[in-house]
Each structure stands twice: as C-alpha cells, then as structure tokens.
Structure 1
Amino acid sequence: MDRLLHLDRTLDELDPPAWAPPGSDATRLVRRVHELRRVALGELGPADLRTLVSQQVALSYVLPLAVRLLLDEPMLDAYFYEGDLLLAAVNAPASAWDMFPDLRTRLRTVITALPDTAVAVLPRGAAEELTRFVAQPESLH
C-alpha cells in the first residue's frame, strides 16, 4: 500500500485503534502526540514529523513523509536545530526501516553525500549515529 496516498486521513484512522484522550496528568509531549494523531497526514509539518518519529508513533506512515522532506533538505531544521529530523529518522528502529528498503537506500545516499561542514554542526555523537545508520546491514526479509 502506498502510504502517501492517504494524506487526507489521520493516524487515528490509519493506525487503529484510535487513541483515547490523554489523562489529565499527561505531559505536554504526550498531549501533543495525541493531538498529532488527529491531524491529516498532509497537514503534518516538519516539527510534527520529528515529534512522531522520535516517539516512534505510526512509523509506517510518518517515516516515509519525513524521508520525503529529508531527500530534498537533509539538514532541515524541524524544530530544535539543523538536522534534527534527520537524526530522528536515523534513530528509528531497524524494523521500521525494513518496511522501506528503497527509502533507506536513498537516505543513505543523501547522508553519504553530506559535507563534513554540515555534519560538524550537529550535536555531539550525531556523526556516529549517521555512520551507524549508513553501515546497518540490509534486511534479510
């Protein structure tokens, strides 16, 4: 199924069951993730995608959207700093990437082409995270 065909639908619709409202004691992050599950995929911005990918919510839907942005602008500043969406994506579990081997390959190519000056502005440890992602073996599935 092409997950980009469902841009007019929400994660609560596409990734059942729909989540119940967060508890009154929920953190701001938890409340935000619950809100984002009720937003149409096509309306999710880079910061929204970074939040959902970082929290590993419905990766089968949000990871392709994030990669689509990253292929055009790998060092996109989604919310915190240049490259924050990229780092969220490369830290998604390997099992999520196994669903999208072609996207993983395309993102690896983009990462490999990043100039050292771009990687140098990322937080400490980010270069190692990028190297680990590029070096991950392809899925055996």
Structure 2
Amino acid sequence: MNQDIDRKKTLEQLEGIQWPAPPPNATALVNAAHELRKLPVGSLDAHGLSRLIGQDIGIPWLLPIALNILHRTAHDHSLREFYDDDLLTAALTRTAHVWRSNPRWVTKMKEIIAALDDTSLYVQEDIRTFLKESGDLK
C-alpha cells in the first residue's frame, strides 16, 4: 500500500491534472466527482471515496485509503455496527488490472473479507467474483 500519500493534497494536486468545469447539464454524480477531486484526500469519507472509486477516479491514491478504512472497520461489521457496503462494493468491483497493479492490495482485501460475516447477497457475489479473479492474479 502506498503509505506515503500526502492526505492534505487533493486528487487534482496528486494527479497534476485539473479537470475543466463540468457541463451545465452534468449529472449529480459528475458534479460530485468534480467537487470531490478538489477536497484533500484525507478528508474524504466513505461515501465520497465510494463515489470516486466506483467511477475509477484516483484509484492509486484512493484505493489504499479505502482499504485502510475497510480494514479498520471490518470488526464493526461483525458487531452489527455500521459498515459501509458501498465502499466495500466499490473497492471489490475494480478490474483485475487494478488489483494486478499492487498485489498488497489483494492481500489487504482478502484480510478484510476474512473479517466480515453475514454480508448481503449482492456483496457476497462481489466477494466471490473478486476471490475468483484474484486467484488468477500473478
């Protein structure tokens, strides 16, 4: 995992790319993505992270942050406390290319999965797909 991410920087700063303003008829998701890219990555909550990761935005910087949150809160799931399935799903459903780029992310996700119990049927399907695909990652 990339532990040396400067969490005070925005995605725009980390990527060195400033997106133009969204078009006037942009969807709420597009508008949100544009706004979230302007926030320090360390200030993004699970909802913001899931929105960006789900759109494959900022993966090299945001996926390690998301995995740390998921790992830290996996115990909450077993206690029937709040656990963000949207963030888990956004992370799980990234392409094999994303996971292949950093095998440590695969290891971390497998640790998260092992700590979870009683997930929804939808998340269970995403977990099965991830485990099947990650088994082929070399």
TM-score (norm 1): 0.82
Counterpart position of 1:64: 64
Distance 1:13-1:3 versus aligned 2 partners, 3 A rule = farther
d(CA) in 2 for partners of 1:21 and 1:77? 33
d(CA) in 2 for partners of 1:58 and 1:134? 23
d(CA) in 1 for partners of 2:101 and 2:135? 14
Counterpart position of 1:139: 137
d(CA) in 2 for partners of 1:3 and 1:110? 18
Counterpart position of 2:86: 84
Counterpart position of 2:105: 103
Identity of aligned residues (%): 28
Does the 8 A contact of 2:50 with 2:86 survive in 1?
yes
What secondary structure, in the 3-state scheme, does the structure 1 residue paired with 2:5 have? helix
Does the 8 A contact of 2:47 with 2:86 survive in 1?
no
| Structure 1: gaps (5+ residues) | none
Residue 134 of structure 1 and its aligned partner are, at CA, apart by: 1.9
Higher relative contact order (CA 8 A, sep 6+): 2
Residue 9 of structure 1 and its aligned partner are, at CA, apart by: 0.7
1:112 pairs with one of 108, 111, 114:
114
Residue 110 of structure 1 and its aligned partner are, at CA, apart by: 2.2
Task: Quote the RMSD (CA, aligned, Å).
Answer: 1.9
Counterpart position of 1:13: 13
d(CA) in 2 for partners of 1:132 and 1:139? 13
Residue 24 of structure 1 and its aligned partner are, at CA, apart by: 0.7
Amino acid at match of 2:18: A
d(CA) in 2 for partners of 1:71 and 1:60? 17
| Structure 2: gaps (5+ residues) | none
Amino acid at match of 1:33: A
TM-score (norm 2): 0.84
- The structure carrying a bigger helix percent of its residues is 2
Amino acid at match of 1:45: D
Q: Note if 1:126 corresponds to 2:123.
A: yes
